[in-house]
Structure 1
């Protein structure tokens, strides 16, 4: 034997006599297996070269631990609403290449994706490219295995060596598994289909010649007990059973299917007629539901087959717009294909096709109830399908597919999960109309009124109930298809399959009414959302119009919405034609209940602004779950009373998120939060680049904890804002130590007390060419800044007598203004309006508190050019140069330009704190009681000149007092 070495790496072992690599037989076998892609049954005419139609899929680095707890259709819908331009796309041939910035070898990869998204095709393409010597030439042996085939051997025992020889007899005489110089890759496709699910607590096995059950072999392969030097690639749908194995993998990837450009490329490859291809592309883009589904390659193929020959300019008008309509077109195409394949000896093609479609539908329905997506010969036989009649069975090619296995037994499945669900619905629909049988009613639930049980309404009612029983949406698409089939326009396409029609004119309105009742009663937004899709299939849009009118009227922020109404709003936002990029919760609500109702919308956004929305620890657990499984890159939670308990809950999701920017200004955090924040900052999988922690009482102890994360080699943070965090010289020493090794470019320590020595140390680091720090901000520092909270910005204010109205009395050293019961004098100062301004013009960050009685408005204004006269333009709150808060016993109101906006759910106290951040352009109001502050509202203003605190006393006996 001889070796071929490239750059010190063993690439091939050669047989000296034959001068051919030892893997040549394996490669030849894999070429034969993967060169063609069968479309349906494995007949010669259905063989299409993989490379001729393969379109690159969008594969991205994923997050460990994400599990699909809802119908996969919802996963696809949410993906289409997120921006993927900034996500890292990974070529399937480069899965085992080290990631940028990470030098360690990737040996175990798991790739997830919904059914039909292209996982198996990616595996086949990877294998074929290796066998053709186009890619991954450093691999000597690649062994692709399918769980569908492994399931057939689950009751037998093999050693790993024996198992390999069963599937790949070409390597039987080669000593592969005991030689760690061999670069080997095991590919295991379809982990979610493993029967039974793998058990991570299986016995430990390290001998490749020792027989055991297949699941034991695989678990030990994953855990590096068997052939620890081998590479392993596993694919799976995102189901719960994969969670226990996540710790075994180095890299998590996700197949997202086709992006928009890849869809167009696929249609143009598949359809040679450019005009027809362009018409199909245009139609798919114009119909949102079809556009969403075309992220799935299998659906693109179905769409191309269904529309290829009949989408003329005339047909464009009647082209399918809903999923049910598209699947009916696909069914019609499949039936025509069946007719051409049927032997002439069959008397009635229509009856034969109807009978066989019903058998397929029965199989689909029964196996859907069991949760099985893959079937075997015994399953087909139990549902009246005779696979031995190959000449007849071959007409299922467009709907059904078979896969031969190494042991001779075939596996079967529908070409896609949605096709499976469609045929289950078709079976239930035709059973009712043709046979007067409601298969959704179990025999044990016999009614006293059997004829009533056979009504069409009962059929659809039971289907709705069945779908609502499953929180994971298992029967969601089944229900949508069943209701869609009931429309008169769709039944026309079924006329050859329906022997009778038991439709009643009133049924449609009855089921619409029933669905609306369920929407209003359902506490689950996910359940509600699918029911909205059902209404859409029935062409009823009344609930959507209701919430859209309510929203456009401006009543949303003042309303107390029910869970159903929040679900409606969520549906409206999610189904908008505009791609959701930035979501601002305050546009719709400032409450935790509203956030819970709109979590799906938050999840779909790239930027989520939840600033000042009255959020507390109560929402943090659910929000954490959303963050960990979303595409959110920027999250603003500032000015919410999260406290340490809430942030610690949030950090669980932040560890596995795609966040690049996180803002936590004024969230009432202390040093207790800093351990959790440090873990987020140093997370291996983290992407966080900007962290704003302004105005939280971390002190030096918290900074010390945070610096543990900053000094980690995994930290990617570039911008850190610690303004107003009560940091002293001691905290600066911790930061200096961390700056020696971290990636920080900008550091804001303004409004702290670093002292001369601390500031000197930091400026030295800023000038050090070895340090990455480029910008240090340390303005407005001093000893007073170590006071807790906003009080570190306290300013001393006095009222300006020259601006006081004649009816106001100033006292307490011009700290207090009172409007007495009767008018006092006739002085000519700021005639007409009972208002007064302070003497001090403010910029920078300033905080003051005011006690009030009666009815008072307080805020800031530019210096007035005139304080005399009776013009309304100088009245507090009546012009565009004043921003403030009106306070009365029962409520607060924001005032600007003569408009008062009430603030709901805020019980007024008799002391208000005001915080001005002039440079940032914010003015915040707080209710102060017993030393505690509760955020009222933050206004965003582009200040252009110094502002003066100003007060207006509307009622007699009203007063304000500057503390």
Structure 2
């Protein structure tokens, strides 16, 4: 098998060079996540520091039950592009074929979604298998009949062109029953077809929320390289231990580069850059765009040096275009397909055909051959998803193509349902349109960014950041775009009337925190609101951003698992802040001991006016620790869904709420939620609906609840009217139905 880090033409046996991947058993969120590559960062380090031994899963144990009761039949394996999902599949097939592993199956059927995409008419499971395995024609009935000993592996769900429509209502139950491909897959994964067979699906995170998750028995995350495996990769790549150590030392000094090296394919990109670039040691990249610009320049330089003879032939009159033209053609291919959600390109495609005969193409595009009955076709993809996004951004920056709307839901959230699809593209675009990278692109590649486009983009960032800061809309990707520019004057030009920073419902990495700090450190004065709800914030992260927390008036930290160390940081903020008046800690796993620490801190400064801590472990004893703090300074304490037993104790204290009431507390809460929903895209609206539609039935009789849910229902109805995605419409309609009951 030819690996990424081998020399040209060199092949290394698969069995001799396979870096073990850490598989972490657990649900990594079927809520929509931001761009897959950016979900890493410090999360990878945390996985290795916290009881990894109990979380490792060998491929042979993927279908083993942990409790001995419920069988594991349907497994979803997820991981970012380049992390090793297909390598894992190949490893399982390799070991099974050589009897090297004790997989408890008699037969494995392996299919890829990129092959299934070629089927454009009704088919059945038998035909789907036989397309690539005609030699099984006489045995397939026996194989399928022995389904309890059968494993079906389906690789690359995110590449399936019907991936948004898999929650089907039409099923087939027999292997020879014809239906659309998506219906056959839906029947298989939901257990209507071959219910006793084991099924493994691999996918990038961005697509997994389209899988009918109720039937999945085990969710597995491929977490990528460990630090030791990064070191091993460097050793194999540079084939000189002293040089490998020196290069790894360079990377270790750059947090951004080290973080991304946990992704195997990206580790290769960094190694290429280190090997070819003479500038890296003098000027370490600060942003993702910096890294990819240097990567592009390094590979172009390597191409012109190592293939000088071929390159000179290409420059003769009548031959292929200049390097800049080739980069432009690659960019056009990347851009057009990215906008169409495509990562695979066929040789029959016009944009692919335009690249024929250019040896430089193989530097950035991988080629495979698909065999169909009667013909073969070449299929191309960029070496890594992020490489496609980078080339797409280059094309957009240097051509007359209009800038895509970076935040369509600024004016209409219903149109913003991209599931983070263009997040990294927009960050690359911002970085390329920055002065330093635009100059580098012109010097090294001969491509010039349009000055009008540069200025238009800068004004757009300023305008949209201002709107988001004032409305409380989700702001994280815009902060990343600002960070990629590395121009403090842009941040200083953002002058909102109120400063709200909402990054909720995102698992934040260290890169995310760096961008948040970059922006807020360039602003002055109080932060009206910082929303870190459901971000996986840790003690280390809170301590890191403590100076920013001291400037907050409203701080939301709910839906994070806050241990005593994290609570101590919050207590330090309460003692030191002149600004903090409202603190939200709902569903954060705090109990009486943590509350006692917080109440002691509140007594010192006596500035906090509202404390929201619904859904925790606080008992009557814990609430009593607040008795001398209400109603001054604490005018409002919300403690519903806690461990109180004697709620009568607090009825005389109007400041403490332990049950739903029909008063202005919940009316204000409802208004706040509605405002958030109005500025959220459809996917984030669905997240909120999952939370707020879980209120006990008896509460719905309250006047505030009737008004709140009626307004929420009207909002959902408006969104459905403008929604263009069938899958999202289906989700919104489910909630519409719930609210009408």
Segments of structure 2 that go 5 or more residues without pairing to the other structure are 518-524, 544-548, 572-584, 596-614, 638-648, 658-741
- Among 475, 480, 488, the alignment partner of 1:528 is 475
Matches within 5 A, 1:405-804: 405-407=370-372, 408-431=376-399, 437=400, 439-440=401-402, 464=406, 470=416, 472-490=419-437, 491-492=439-440, 494-498=442-446, 503=451, 515-523=461-469, 527-541=474-488, 562-564=499-501, 594=529, 597-599=531-533, 602-603=536-537, 623=558, 626=559, 663=591, 693-696=617-620, 790=624
Shift of 1:566: 8.7
Aligned to 1:201: 168
1:402 aligned onto 2:349? no
- The answer to whether the 8 Å contact 1:39/1:398 transfers is no
The reply on whether 1:85 has 2:85 as its aligned counterpart is no
Cα deviation code 1:931-951 (max 9, x no counterpart): 43449xxxxxxxxxxxxxxxx
Residue by residue, what CA displacement relative to the aligned partner does 1:495-537 show, whole Å, maximum 9, x if unpaired?
Answer: 2532667659xx9788656534432321577853333333332
1:328 CA drift (Å): 1.8
The 5 A counterparts of 1:233-252 are: 233-239=200-206, 242-252=209-219
Shift in CA distance, 364/231, structure 1 to aligned 2, threshold 3 Å = same
The aligned counterpart of 1:331 is: 296
Q: Is the CA contact 2:39–2:509 (under 8 Å) kept in the aligned structure 1? A: no
Larger fraction in helix:
2
1:353 counterpart residue number: 323
Match of 2:123 in 1: 157
**Structure with max Cα Rg:** 1
Instruction: Decide whether aligned partners of structure 1 residues 221 and 394 sit closer, same or farther in structure 2, where only a CA change above 3 A counts.
Output: farther
Aligned-partner Cα distance in 1 for 2:369–2:219: 30
Gaps of at least 5 residues in structure 1 are 1-34, 432-436, 442-461, 548-559, 581-587, 640-649, 668-690, 697-722, 725-788, 791-844, 850-884, 893-902, 909-926, 936-963
* Match 2:268 to one of 267, 283, 301: 301
Match of 1:225 among 182, 192, 199: 192
| Alignment counterpart, residue 77 of structure 2, candidates 100, 111, 131 | 111
Name the stretch that deviates more: 278-287 or 201-210.
201-210
What is the Cα deviation at residue 366 of structure 1?
1.6
Q: 1:366 aligns with which of 322, 336, 339?
A: 336
How far 1:473 moved relative to its partner? 3.5
How far 1:607 sits from its partner (Å)?
Answer: 9.8
| 8 Å CA contact retained: 1:117, 1:298 | yes
1:403-462 residue CA offsets vs partner (Å, 9 max, x unmatched): 22231233322122211111011112232xxxxx3x116xxxxxxxxxxxxxxxxxxxx6
- The structure-2 alpha-carbon separation of the partners of 1:377 and 1:92, relative to structure 1 and needing over 3 Å to count, comes to farther
Given that 1:350 and 1:496 are in contact with CA atoms closer than 8 Å, whether structure 2 keeps it comes out as no
Q: Deviations over 1:685-712 (max 9, x none)?
A: xxxxxx984534xxxxxxxxxxxxxxxx
- 1:58 pairs with 2:5: no
Quote how far apart the aligned CAs of 1:632 are: 8.5
Query: Residue 217 of structure 1: CA displacement?
Result: 2.5
Whichever structure has more strand as a proportion of its residues is 1
Provide closer, same or farther for how the CA distance between residues 418 and 525 of structure 1 changes in structure 2, counting only shifts above 3 A.
Answer: farther
The alpha-carbon deviation at position 464 of structure 1 amounts to 4.8
Measured at CA, do residues 56 and 68 of structure 1 come closer, stay the same or move farther in structure 2, by a change above 3 Å? farther
Aligned residues of 1:467 and 1:479 also touching (Cα < 8 A): no
Q: Deviations over 1:632-653 (max 9, x none)?
A: 89997999xxxxxxxxxx99xx
**Contact residue 322 and residue 537 of structure 1 kept, 8 A:** yes
Task: Say whether the 8 Å CA contact 2:476–2:503 is kept in structure 1.
Answer: no
Q: Give secondary structure in 1 for the equivalent of 2:109.
A: strand
Deviations along 1:566-621, whole A, 9 cap, x unmatched? 99xx999865689x9xxxxxxx99x9x74x62336554568999xxx9xxxx999x
SS in structure 2 at match of 1:412? strand
* Offset of residue 310 of structure 1: 4.2
User: Kindly tell me: are residues 80 and 37 of structure 1, through their superposed partners in 2, closer, same or farther at Cα, counting changes over 3 Å?
Assistant: closer
Residue 352 of structure 1: how far off its partner (Å): 3.2
Helix, strand or coil for the counterpart of 2:205? coil
Displacement of 1:235: 0.8
Provide the TM-score with structure 1 as the length reference: 0.52
Q: Does 1:385 align with 2:342?
A: no
Cα distance in structure 2, aligned partners of 1:64 and 1:573 = 18
CA distance in 2, matches of 1:110, 1:152: 23
Within 1, Cα distance between the matches of 2:467 and 2:200?
A: 45
Determine helix, strand or coil for the equivalent of 2:152: strand
Match of 1:857 in 2: none
Which whole-Å CA distance do the structure 1 matches of 2:459 and 2:148 have between them?
66
**How far apart in 2 are the matches of 1:239 and 1:170?**
36
- Per chain length, whose mean CA-contact separation is higher, i.e. which structure has more relative contact order (CA < 8 Å, sep 6+)? 2
In 1, the alpha carbon distance for the partners of 2:296 and 2:594 equals 59
Q: Secondary structure at the match of 2:72?
A: coil
User: Which sits farther off after the overlay, 241-250 or 109-118?
Assistant: 241-250
RMSD: 4.8
Correspondence 1:190 to 2:127: no
Q: Distance in 2 between matches of 1:81 and 1:37?
A: 26
